[in-house]
Amino acid sequence: MTTEKTSFGVGDIVVDVINNEIGVLLRRFNLYHSPPYNEMEELDDACVVVWDVFWCGPSLWPMERVQAYTEEGLEILLEAEVLVLHKNT
């Protein structure tokens, strides 16, 4: 298990290799606070960083296209090789 955090950014693409779907990271926010997001909030114990992901794939209903994932959850899925990250450079 790696201890290095993955750096995610708006526009990054994640590929779900299990469901053959592609997601685009739309926005990052603290689940417990209203926007705008402040990176200093991450020092707070009550900070839960979440990403909205827009999914493209044949098996999704239109209202399921945008889903929220915790940043830690995305890191776990990457480590488990369920997702593959392609950076928006």
With respect to residue 5, please indicate whether it lies within any of the assigned structural domains. no
Q: What is the pLDDT of residue 1?
A: 47
Q: What is the pLDDT of residue 60?
A: 74
User: What one-letter code names the amino acid at 68?
Assistant: A
Give the Cα separation of 14 and 25 in Å (integer): 8
Q: What is the pLDDT of residue 43?
A: 56
For 16, phi then psi, to 5°, come to -85, 105
Q: Which residue range is the domain that position 38 belongs to?
A: 13-86
Q: Along the 89 residues of the chain, how does pLDDT read in single tens digits?
A: 455 678 999 999 999 999 899 999 999 988 876 555 555 555 566 678 899 999 998 777 777 889 999 999 999 999 999 999 999 98
**Do 53 and 70 meet the contact criterion of CB atoms below 8 Å apart?**
no
Q: What is the pLDDT of residue 59?
A: 76
Give the Cα separation of 23 and 36 in Å (integer): 23
With respect to residue 20, please indicate whether it lies within any of the assigned structural domains. yes
With respect to residue 1, please indicate whether it lies within any of the assigned structural domains. no
Number of domains present in the structure of the chain: 1
With respect to residue 40, please indicate whether it lies within any of the assigned structural domains. yes
With respect to residue 32, please indicate whether it lies within any of the assigned structural domains. yes
With respect to residue 69, please indicate whether it lies within any of the assigned structural domains. yes
Question: Is pTM, for the whole model, over 0.75?
Answer: yes
Q: Which runs of consecutive H residues, i.e. helices, occur in the chain? A: 71-79
Residues shown for the chain: 89
